[in-house]
Amino acid sequence: MREEGKSIEEIRDNRRKFQLAVLDMQIEQEAELSPIETVFLDRAIPDAMAYYQFLNLDFDEKLLSA
């Protein structure tokens, strides 16, 4: 996620907003995967839980339902 005119530090200042944007991208990308192909995901939705914990963020409903 890149917002015009903002630095990475400014974007990451709002950690929850940043994590939700990453989660949205992961959900969108994973929804496009073929259910009949074998796919290895180096980074996937469960990684988001680790980042939420690392950043001391409470799990929200979007993360839990993903």
pLDDT at 9 over 80: no
- Tell me if 15 is assigned to some domain: yes
- Tell me if 2 is assigned to some domain: no
Contact 62, 23 (CB under 8 A): yes
- Tell me if 3 is assigned to some domain: no
- Tell me if 12 is assigned to some domain: yes
Q: CA–CA separation, 66 vs 53, rounded Å?
A: 16
Q: C-alpha angle with apex 35: 30 to 39, nearest 5 degrees?
A: 65
pLDDT band at 23 (very low <50, low <70, confident <90, very high): very high
pTM (2 d.p.): 0.70
- Tell me if 60 is assigned to some domain: yes
Helices H, strands E: what count in the chain?
Answer: 4, 0
pLDDT of 53: 92
pLDDT band at 46 (very low <50, low <70, confident <90, very high): confident
pLDDT of 5: 76
pLDDT of 24: 93
pLDDT of 36: 95
- Tell me if 1 is assigned to some domain: no
Q: How many domains does the chain divide into?
A: 1
Give CA separation, 40 vs 32, 44, 46, in Å.
14, 9, 13
- Tell me if 20 is assigned to some domain: yes
- Tell me if 56 is assigned to some domain: yes
